[in-house]
Structure 1
Amino acid sequence: MRHLNVAVLLGDPRLPYAYAVDGRFGHEELEAVERLREALGQLPDYRFSYLDDHAALIDDLRALPPDLVLNFCDTGFRNDWELERDIPALLEILGIPYTGADPMSISLTTDKALVRALAAGQGIAVPNETYVELAADPVVLPSIYPCLIKPNSSGGSFGITRDCVVHDAQEAEAGRTARGG
């Protein structure tokens, strides 16, 4: 019986990663990969390879295309979160089937205002929201406090910290200034 060749695509631990606490992959991330290797190693009829060297990624995929890619690379190409959608785009260009969201889905779901509008349009309860354009002059700050000021274009909780909770206009303005708005 032929084994299914599966490539597990991961972030690159050799490169900086701005969203990690110390700007690099830490012990927890590396431990998670080891546990993944152990778990997948228990599956019969599959051969797993692990691709985490982004400098060689394109060449590796072209030289030995896998039957399937488990796309666990949510860090983006070269650990650049803005290039997260480029990973599935690359796999599509190379004609390699993969798991996870396609490039368009990643693009749409990283726009929090759009996701909120789509959810509200489907009757899903969503919190009140005001879009604040930090580059506008004058900046129109939220009118209801306390509130959470978060970046619009990022996935998951990226960019959300304890400092995003503000209790009045003065804290909102201080946060806007700290974020470069």
Structure 2
Amino acid sequence: MKVLIVYNESDPEIYEQAPEISEEDLDFKPYFDLENSNPIDEYEAMAKALRRAGYDAYTLNIMDNLQHFFDNIDKNKPDVVFNLMELYKDVAIQEMNFAGLLELLDIPYTGAPPLALGTCQSKILTKRILSSIGIRTPNYRLVKSLNKPFRINLNYPLIVKPALEDASVGIEEESIVYNVDALKKRVKYVLEYFAQPALVEEFIVGRELNVAVFGDKEPEVLPISEIDFSKLPDDLHPIVSYQAKWDPYHVAYHKTIPKCPAPLSNKIRKEAEEIALKAVKAVGCRDYARVDMRLSEDKRLYVLEVNPNPDLQQDAGFMRSARTAGYSYSRALKMIVDFAYMRKRGSNGK
């Protein structure tokens, strides 16, 4: 089977220009490697893993040019497209449109369909869907403008996020606010910098859980992972900020340490698993997804995000849970490809 791993990095040389910083340059002891994350290397590692699994896998960077994709599939005629598109011309909502293109071309592809990608891109729509089926999410308000009287009617502390981003984009230390002045300042920043509404939520103090869901027709919940905030400096909030997720030279990156499986009671674990399966089904995810939750101090679970097509790097949250469940990297990737291929065969009645 021929598998095309398609992604879009419009400026790939940026990863070669990253500054070289050693451990001696930092004012803290790093926990993880200091190398900048290079997604292009990870895509090649995925192709290599799929080749070990017996597939003819290769990668394609379309570099903001759809014609590269059309030329490639016309020439190579892949059996399955491993869809890793997240942005097109720096617009996140185009992620769903690329999946829609694959639908129109009638090509088997991995991961979530267009509607699920578009739904989860909108934090508000996701929250409304989850709330409608009885899944708890933090109380919130959507702020589109500061021109009207500012009445938020939420309990501090609050967290302010861009309403249409993912991957912790726009979530920083300043996102947690304790009074109306700080709230207005952060909302203003989101409105102007991201040019989209600001989602203001009550900040749930407690533990952060990542619940990975794996499969298509009969999805399973993988061992739950927890982000341990106990090593964070006192001046940093217990959140998975953009820096904690993506900046290897920031202290938060090294002091938000994942633990898998998370030490949970059977009651909480089962409840989290049930919520994750319901959430993934409600928004239409498939193949692989991750549901991020908070376990409050009074033992209540709140869904923060439903993530279709989450990061598949070997050390990322989804693969950490898969590894704990006993799946090798090659096997997990092969199964994702197989889900897509068999789904297409089933739709054709074969």
Deviations 1:55-100 (A, max 9, x none): 2123222343311111122x22345323111211121122211011
Distance across 2 between alignment mates of 1:82 and 1:95: 21
SS across alignment from 1:6: strand
What's 1:110 paired with?
A: 121
Check the 8 A contact 1:109/1:115 in 2, yes or no: yes
Q: Does 1:61 align with 2:70?
A: no
Shift of 1:11: 2.4
What's 2:84 paired with?
A: 72
Distance across 2 between alignment mates of 1:135 and 1:110: 23
Shift of 1:170: 0.7
Q: Percent identity?
A: 23
Check the 8 A contact 1:65/1:96 in 2, yes or no: no
Check the 8 A contact 1:89/1:102 in 2, yes or no: yes
Shift of 1:16: 8.9
Judged with a 3 Å threshold, the aligned counterparts in structure 2 of structure 1 residues 16 and 170 are, in CA distance, closer, same or farther, namely farther
Distance across 2 between alignment mates of 1:61 and 1:81: 23
Distance across 2 between alignment mates of 1:105 and 1:136: 33
Structure 2 residue aligned with 1:50, among 20, 43, 59?
Answer: 59
Q: Does 1:41 align with 2:51?
A: yes
Q: 165-174 vs 80-89, which deviates more? A: 80-89
Shift of 1:149: 1.1
Distance across 2 between alignment mates of 1:63 and 1:146: 55
Check the 8 A contact 2:82/2:109 in 1, yes or no: yes
SS across alignment from 2:144: coil
Q: Does 1:134 align with 2:140?
A: no
Distance across 2 between alignment mates of 1:114 and 1:30: 32
Check the 8 A contact 2:93/2:121 in 1, yes or no: no
Describe how 1:10-21 pairs up with structure 2 within 5 A: 10-12=7-9, 14=11
Q: TM-score, normalised by structure 1?
A: 0.79
Judged with a 3 Å threshold, the aligned counterparts in structure 2 of structure 1 residues 89 and 16 are, in CA distance, closer, same or farther, namely farther
**Residues matched between the structures, number:** 170
Distance across 2 between alignment mates of 1:178 and 1:142: 20
What's 1:94 paired with?
A: 105
Shift of 1:9: 1.1
Q: Does 1:177 align with 2:188?
A: yes
Distance across 1 between alignment mates of 2:153 and 2:13: 35
Q: Structure 1 or 2: larger strand share?
A: 2
Letter of the 2:73 counterpart? L
Check the 8 A contact 2:175/2:186 in 1, yes or no: yes
Distance across 1 between alignment mates of 2:153 and 2:171: 17
Shift of 1:175: 1.2
What's 1:32 paired with?
A: 42
Q: TM-score, normalised by structure 2?
A: 0.44
Unaligned stretches of 5+ residues in structure 1: none
Distance across 2 between alignment mates of 1:68 and 1:48: 10
Deviations 1:28-70 (A, max 9, x none): 32332232233122012x2112111332123222343311111
What's 2:177 paired with?
A: 166
Check the 8 A contact 2:177/2:183 in 1, yes or no: yes
Distance across 2 between alignment mates of 1:38 and 1:89: 27
Deviation beyond 4 Å, 4+ runs, structure 1:
none
Structure 1 residue aligned with 2:164, among 153, 157, 166?
Answer: 153
Check the 8 A contact 1:8/1:71 in 2, yes or no: yes
Shift of 1:110: 1.2
Structure 2 residue aligned with 1:9, among 6, 9, 14?
Answer: 6
SS across alignment from 1:70: strand
